[in-house]
A = this chain, B = another copy of it.
Amino acid sequence: MKKILLSFLILCFTHLAFAEDGYELWLRYHKIENPSLLQKYQSRNKGVVFTANSDRLKAAKKELALGLKGLLDIDLADSQNLTSGGVLIGTPESSGLIAQSGYAKEINGLDPEGYIIRTVNIDGKQITLVAAKTDIGVLYGVFHYLRLMQTNQSLDKLAITEEPKLQLRVLDHWDNLNGTIERGYAGYTLWDWARLPNYKSPRYTDYARANASIGINGAVLNNVNANAKSLRVEWLIKAAALADAFRPYGIRVYLTARFSAPKEIGGLPTADPLDPQVRQWWKDKAKEIYGYIPDFGGFLVKANSEGQPGPQDYGRTHADGANMMAEALEPYGGVVFWRAFVYQNERHIDRVMNGYEEFKPLDGAFNKNVFVQPKNGPIDFQPREPFHPLFGAMSKTALALEFQITQENLGHAGHLVYLGSLFEETLQSDTYENGKGSTVSKVLQNYKKTHGISGIAGVPNTGTDLNWTGHLFGQANWHAFGRLAWNPDMTSEEMSEEWIRMTFSNDKKIIDPIQKIMLMSREAAVNYMTPLGLNHIMNYDTHNGPEPWHDDPVWSAFDYHKASESGVGVDRTRTGTNAVGQYHEPLSSQLNDVKTCPPQFLLWFHRMAWDYKMPSGNTLWNELVAHYYLGVEEVRQMQTIWNSLEKDIDEERFVHVKSLLELQEKEAVWWRDGCLLFFQQYSQLPIPSKYEQPKHSLNYYKRIPYPYNWKESQYK
């Protein structure tokens, strides 16, 4: 009794002193506030029949107990007998009741990760059935069931059937073995390498729970700029310990593979993918890995890109390299994700076209268990890019799409930018591969039919920060990626509402303003950073803040904007580099014609005079100015909306977001003024007087260091 009392007190007062730090993510399970709804839910959870004999079912049951306790103040009453108003959970294998129900056949026909949630009558009792073909489906079903209550949906007449539309839903962590995270802004790696494998942090389980709750089923543990050491035994046993921690939640572990590993750690004189010794080395390595991690997912490889070694070092193709690894993994069911993010660092070549040019000719040359993985756009995770032209161009090769969840080019952990909008924009872009309606989403989904497998990857924004993502709203981007990986046709409206309900409140007076902020935020960022198709004008080193003036022999922003007195933008039409030729018709012609090219991609595909007359009636220059000013204005609107919520949101989270919005406003002005003053050198046109004029000179903005100083006195 004392022990129970103590437990309750511990539950109740743990973190009393440090509430609302964001650690819980969207898995909050706070008690349902609406009394009548609470009563309804309680009446639908009168008894739970849930036999859990596997680690995954146990994880599901633990989650359910946590959820019912928190949401409904109900202690999970475990029963073998169905009660009206009860819940039956399991698989046909785990539950005789389910096996003998009329639903067994349907359930066994589901995708292995699918589930149903149904209001059904069994033995004359009306109950809720949460059932799946496999244990992991049950876990997903339980998370969905809890989510229904977290978002205040009805539990009456449930008729939910869910199956993932993409099979491999993976986070690609860019975590280095020394603990730092490339382009990570929320602290450092979650993997406590020094104390693994002996000590397993409880945070691994919380990480896995969060991922499983949104359907993510894989994690590449380490950076694509890979360290060959990660394939050595002393690291493999650590990866295996993580795999053990993740397994109950259906997360498979993957590793990046440095192409030159056979030389660096294998003692071979070459890493040539056609060399028999090299091929054997990878086979032996795969066997070794599967000895430690029986459900190892496979390799992610960045090869012959940005200085990484690869098959081209030996005159071989990407396919030669990828297939070698695929062969080694194939006996165990592993896959290779082979990145299509490659470019020649030669200034006469249009970088936008590189990936397509290298991979399109290889269509069909890859083994079945290889994914070629382009980024969402053809450059590099810019605030806005057209979709990568390889989507729709590789019918004989499985493609996996790589999104970036971490905000490398979108203000790091300082800016509120909801990426649901960006992800949706790419996924709903029409490739016209098979006529109208061949969206990127459909292209990705279709590989299940043609290759038996489909996939998507996200480079996460997670780290050791208490709130996981640095910016509280960064959590929404992790959530959105997971939800879209499960169903790429979800809308950002749906996803953002769900996230707000689970994170803040089910009160429309709170949901609506927060959703408004989220849904306007990405366009705001594009406006104050890179409107009208501009791109790659960020700080060369940090990728935060403007640096369209960067110009050195290795890398020049001028290759991306080509600003001069005669105009701005890159001519990628048929009379230019013909990047438009990499897209299907009618899109290709639409992009090619300045009159039909969507304005948001204007300067991406076209070079325009400063006084070009836009459809709005503005000159190009004035339109550019208008966008930059609008971006700052939108951030200020976001501030106003957020500040109106002061009384409705706990102090800790309110102040957190408020102060970050203040930072964002300052940086938005930095972007706007820095870029406009830079381009003005070439346009020689004024910023119309109706706008607040830049307070500083271009030189001032050029001298802002990073980490920068906002004390104005310092950089006059």
Contacts and interface: CB of A to CB of B under 8 A. Distances in A.
Interface of A: 2-3, 5-7, 9-21, 23-24, 27-31, 33, 66, 69-70, 179-180, 185, 187-188, 193-200, 202-203, 206, 233-235, 237-238, 412-414, 464-466, 470, 647, 650, 652, 655-656, 659-660, 662-663, 666, 705, 707-711, 714
Contact of A709 (B27, B194, B237, B707): B237
Given A10-B650, A15-B23, 12 more contacts: A18-B206, A21-B203, A23-B466, A179-B180, A195-B470, A198-B660, A199-B660, A233-B711, A234-B707, A234-B708, A234-B709, A237-B711
B464 A203 contact: no
A233 B14 CA distance: 40
Given A412-B194, A659-B200, A707-B196, A19 B9 contact: no
Contacts of A206: 17-18
Given A193-B707, A198-B663, A234-B707, A33 B5 contact: yes
A16 B70 contact: yes
A287 B19 CA distance: 39
A511 to B, nearest CB: 15
Contact of A464 (B20, B31, B187, B705): B187
Contacts of A710: 197-198, 237
Given A194-B412, A412-B194, A666-B198, A19 B14 contact: yes
A13 B70 contact: yes
A202 B710 CA distance: 21
Nearest to A32: B9
Number of copies: 2
A5 B185 CA distance: 35
A666 to B, nearest CB: 7
Contacts of A5: 33
Nearest to A23: B18
A31 B16 CA distance: 11
Given A414-B195, A414-B199, A17 B33 contact: no
Given A194-B185, A710-B198, A711-B233, A29 B15 contact: no
B10 A33 contact: no
Given A196-B707, A203-B466, A13 B27 contact: no
Given A18-B206, A413-B195, A13 B30 contact: yes
Contacts of A2: 33
Contacts of A179: 180, 188
Contact of A11 (B19, B194, B666): B19
B19 A10 contact: yes
A20 B12 CA distance: 11
Given A187-B188, A413-B194, A413-B195, A709 B18 contact: no
29 contacts: A9-B31, A9-B33, A11-B13, A11-B16, A12-B13, A13-B29, A14-B16, A14-B24, A14-B30, A17-B24, A17-B27, A17-B70, A18-B23, A21-B23, A194-B413, A194-B707, A195-B413, A195-B660, A198-B662, A198-B666, A199-B414, A199-B656, A199-B663, A202-B656, A233-B709, A233-B711, A235-B707, A464-B465, A466-B466
A412 to B, nearest CB: 7
Given A28-B13, A187-B187, A194-B185, A714 B233 contact: yes
Given A200-B659, A413-B194, A707 B238 contact: yes
Given A11-B19, A70-B16, A188 B652 contact: no
Contacts of A464: 187-188, 464-465
Contacts of A655: 202
B17 A29 contact: yes
A465 to B, nearest CB: 7
Given A465-B464, A659-B199, A666-B198, A15 B24 contact: yes
A714 B233 CA distance: 8
Nearest to A667: B198
Contacts of A19: 10-11, 14-15
Contacts of A196: 707
Contacts of A193: 707
Q: Which 7 A-B pairs have the closest CB atoms?
A: A15-B15, A198-B663, A234-B709, A14-B19, A188-B188, A464-B464, A13-B30
Contacts of A18: 23-24, 202, 206
Nearest to A25: B17
Contacts of A33: 2, 5-6, 9
B66 A17 contact: yes
A299 B556 CA distance: 42
B234 A705 contact: yes
Given A17-B29, A28-B17, A198 B659 contact: yes
A562 to B, nearest CB: 31
Contacts of A666: 198
Contacts of A185: 194
A188 B30 CA distance: 31
A666 B199 CA distance: 12
A18, A27, A193: most-surrounded residue (chain B CB, <10 A)? A18
B187 A652 contact: no
Contacts of A66: 16-17
B234 A652 contact: no
Contacts of A711: 233, 237
A414 B198 CA distance: 9
A672 B238 CA distance: 24
A13, A29, A187, A237: most-surrounded residue (chain B CB, <10 A)? A13
A705 B194 CA distance: 11
Contacts of A656: 199, 202
A24 B659 CA distance: 24
A377 B27 CA distance: 49
Nearest to A203: B466
Contacts of A30: 9-10, 13-14
Nearest to A63: B17
A652 B206 CA distance: 12
A711 B234 CA distance: 9
